[in-house]
Amino acid sequence: MTDTSRYTVIDSPLGELLLVGDDIGLTDLYRQSTAKSRPVDPAWARHDRHFQAARDQLDAYFAGDLRDFDLPLNPRGSTLQLRVWAALRDIPYGETASYGSIAGRIGWENGARAVGAINGQNPLPIIIPCHRVIGADGSLVGYGGGLPMKQFLLCLEAAHSGLFAAG
């Protein structure tokens, strides 16, 4: 993080979320009640107003009123990670894709396992919808926030999109 990192904490149906960003956009989103929770860095400045659009859009998403986030993002990663995360944003609301299909979308036909690993490193879950990626057989596999959270997000989207979610 840079010296210009800012943060806020918001409530959500999934518990407390820590949002971190810089002058360019959101860099990280942490669910604070999981093993991947993160303490606030003392170098960060709390700046709730900086994150008002993110708060509003997350609230609208959880209410079923928002399908696509329109926020400035600045996830940090390798060129390959950024390509995978961009491909995740192309999975439509209420739909799913397999790790293999994501690998194919970025021209990496045999990269399903690597896509799975990169998916698990997504610094902006929910906003970059890694929860929409499932196993080739349609099973709910691997999710950094835990499979119950993944199922919750898929069911939320299914309930508001008219599509049936797995499980």
Please tell me what DSSP assigns to residue 26.
E
End-to-end alpha carbon distance in the chain:
38
One domain, residues 152 and 87: yes
Domain count, the chain: 2
C-alpha distance from residue 90 to each of 4, 29, 80, 95, 129 (Å): 30, 19, 16, 10, 9
In DSSP notation, 48-62 reads: GGGGHHHHHHHHHHH
Residues 83 and 22 in one domain: no
d(CA 167, CA 160): 16
Q: Give the CATH number, domain containing residue 56.
A: 3.30.160
pLDDT at 3 over 90: no
Token code pair at residue 32: 């604070």
The CATH code of the domain that includes 110 is 1.10.10.10
Catalytic entry in 130, 134, 153, 154: 130
Instruction: State the Cα–Cα distance between residues 68 and 135, nearest whole angstrom.
Output: 23
> What's the helix, strand, coil split of the chain in %, to 5?
35, 15, 50
Residue 73 lies in a domain: no
For residue 84, pLDDT beyond 70: yes
Is 124 in the same domain as 95?
A: yes
Task: Tell whether 85 and 51 lie within a shared domain.
Answer: no
For residues 49-67, average pLDDT: 96
pLDDT given for residue 114 in this prediction: 93
Q: For the chain, how big is the Rg over CA atoms in Å?
A: 16
Higher per-residue pLDDT: 108 or 46:
46
**In a shared domain, residues 123 and 49:** no
> Do 86 and 156 fall into the same domain?
yes
Task: Report the pLDDT averaged over residues 75-88.
Answer: 96
- How far apart CA 22 and CA 61 sit, in angstroms, is 23
Q: Do 87 and 157 lie in a common domain?
A: yes
155 given a catalytic annotation: no
Q: Are residues 101 and 30 in the same domain?
A: no
